[in-house]
Structure 1
Amino acid sequence: MGVWSDLVADVSFIDRNLSFAIPAKHCRGRAVRLGPALDDILTAHRYPPQIRAVLAEAVCLTAMLGALLKHEDAQLTMQAQTEAGVISLLACDYKDGGLRGYVQFDAERLVQQPVEPSLMALFGKGYLAITFDLPAPQGRNQGIVPLEGASLTEAVQNYFVQSEQLPTLVRVAVDDSGENITAGGLLVQHLPEGEEGRERLHVRMDHPEWEHVEIMAGSVEPSELTDKNLPMADLLWRLFSESDEVRVLSGKPCVKACRCTDDHIRDVIARFPKEDKEHMVGDDGTISIDCAFCSKKFSITAASLNN
């Protein structure tokens, strides 16, 4: 038994996705531990602890789901559609290792909640939309599932079971007790009848191979996912050491990557009809835009737009 890896001992395992496979069990997975990149995303706003924790979980989930994409120009978006909850909007996306996330919430309603509010209290009767924007000819693929269970992580796991009909286990842990926040996640999937890319035949949630891997993966402790001194590759080997081989590959680094540049803002505004653009212009002759993701403010002069 052994672990095959392309990782170098001195490579930082923080803010990097790892992909792994257990060939004998026809399973693949993604693992991630976020630190500084996550902190950069969260510090753009002064989120209270409860909101900070749920956004950290969402960003970690987005990083793992995004790592499933094969094309650099593909994008993964995860958005919560809510009704009568504390949170009115949660949006995260991933593109080529770049992450961003944002939460809009009712501060007055939040203070009425316990220290650890339930998923229902935070989102009300909500739905989770997961969108894969892929290059042509594949295009866009979206799945929507109810926000049910104890956490966002459970809702994402339900997405794979309901929308993809793919046996999947997802675990995420967040540690905000120290000077800096850390989040770690593990995603494992069963691909019976061959490796990734082949048609999935006879998918069974009770497949003997999957039951064994699910038990091993489910034994992971939250503290293991967030332990900065425990390399993720070592954790994977610890969990799946009973397998003949665990293949671990280093993935893309994860960074905060908001795409709100002056040029991007101009491009977006340029798509509006001339009449709408005229209404956007303030008394000072500029259009003011605030980026919800990173809190930057942009002032675009009307003269700089192509009318």
Structure 2
Amino acid sequence: MSDTPTLDLDRALGFAILSRSVRGRLVRIGPALEEILAAHNYPLPIERLLGEALVLTALLGAMLKDDQGQLTLQAQTENGVVDLLVADYRAGELRGYVRFDAERLAEMPVEPSLFALFGKGYLAITFDQAATNERYQGIVPLEGASLCEAVSDYFERSEQIPSLIRAHVERIDGIGCVAGGMLLQHLPEGEEGGERLHVRENDAAWEHASVIGGTVKGEELVDPSLPLETLIWRLFNEDEAEVRVLSAAQLAKGCRCDPDHIAEVLLKFPDEERAEMADADGVIAVNCEFCSRTFPIPLERPA
């Protein structure tokens, strides 16, 4: 038998506290996060920012019932040190990218605030349902001390769903960068698994669950030796008669850039525009910012 401990990484796990009409989800990302970060030599503040964004994307994306649906989280500003952050989730696959001003970032403290990084910006969360071809997008100001607070603000403003969100990012010896997070929500009216009631901020059942959930520690969220099921039990077993563990999802890095798809997209441009894109050898170089790869696409495709 191997003495090597099993590490609980790259997984999302849902749970529900039915007696309190509360649903929750835990996410912990390790090797998948390292693979995403490896495409760019991000400095530590940007690494932490992207790690938090990917955790939030996985927490929200794992709620999609459509396997081919996509959740995209995008934060953008015109004059910030970070002018674009984008992360998305589809069927357990994650990808993310941050565009920033390296010179301005180097002049900032080691742990800059969210406002210092973005200034005045906005956060957009987009749900694309492939099965029904429907898209829903909520946009809120990029405010608060962290991305977690900004997403909580999104749920308050756009969904009117009381939510508790926690995330933590840390480098762990022998493993690399690990990001973990938890999402707790009061079930909205008619949600499966909960009573048909109107969600209220001052609901005593929700207040109790959110206080208990708020005791989770950052080191617990990223501890690869602590199974997610055990963390749920540790938080809620003393106060709840039943906590139901729901579906789990494996997480992986998935850029989805494909030369054939890129070529098909380029064919939709007029011939004159495609000719302007090509170099002297008749090749159009298309960059994928997510995975930091360049795809050479011939201007003239073989017959």
Deviation at 1:11, TM superposition (A): 7.5
What is the distance in 2 between the residues matched to 1:305 and 1:113?
A: 51
For 1:62, the equivalent position in structure 2 comes to 57
| CA gap 1:277/1:297 in 2 versus in 1, 3 angstroms | same
**Whole-Å Cα distance in 1 between the matches of residues 168 and 218 of structure 2?**
5
**For 1:1-307, what aligned pairs fall within 5 Å after superposition?**
13-135=8-130, 137=132, 139-179=134-174, 180-191=176-187, 195-196=191-192, 201-241=197-237, 242-304=239-301
Corresponding residue SS for 1:304 = coil
Q: Secondary structure at the match of 2:219?
A: helix
Structure 1 range deviating more: 271-280 or 226-235: 271-280
Counting aligned pairs with the same residue, the percent is 55
Q: Take 2:43 and 2:7, find their aligned partners in 1: how far apart are those partners?
A: 29
Would the aligned equivalents of 1:270 and 1:305 in 2 still touch at CA under 8 Å? no
Distance 2:206 2:268 in 1: 49
TM-score by length of 2: 0.93
For the Cα contact (< 8 Å) 1:78–1:93, is it kept in 2?
Answer: yes
Task: Please report the TM-score for the alignment, with normalisation by the length of structure 1.
Answer: 0.92
**Does the 8 Å contact 1:16/1:250 carry over to 2?**
no
1:190 aligned partner, one-letter code: H
Identify unmatched segments of 5+ residues in structure 2: none
TM superposition shift of 1:24: 1.0
CA distance in 2, matches of 1:197, 1:77: 26
Label 1:154 to 1:297 Cα distance change in 2 as closer, same or farther (>3 A): same
For residues 222-267 of structure 1, what are the alpha-carbon distances to aligned partners after superposition, in whole Å with 9 as ceiling and x for unaligned? 0110111111110111111111111113422100000111112112
Bigger Cα displacement from structure 2, 126-135 vs 194-203:
194-203
Report SS of the residue matched to 2:297. Answer: strand
In structure 1, the gaps of 5 or more residues are 1-9
What is the aligned partner in structure 2 of residue 4 from structure 1?
none
Secondary structure at the counterpart of residue 265 of structure 1 = helix
DSSP 3-state at the match of 2:300: helix
Evaluate the alpha carbon distance shift between residue 35 and residue 63 of structure 1 in structure 2; reply closer, same or farther with a 3 A threshold. Answer: same
SS of 2:295's partner is strand
Q: Give the Å deviation of 1:305.
A: 7.4
How many residues in Structure 1 have an aligned counterpart in Structure 2? 297
Q: Which segment drifts farther, 190-199 or 228-237?
A: 190-199
Question: Deviation at 1:54?
Answer: 0.3
Counterpart residue type for residue 224 of structure 2: K
RMSD: 1.9
SS in 1 for 2:155: helix
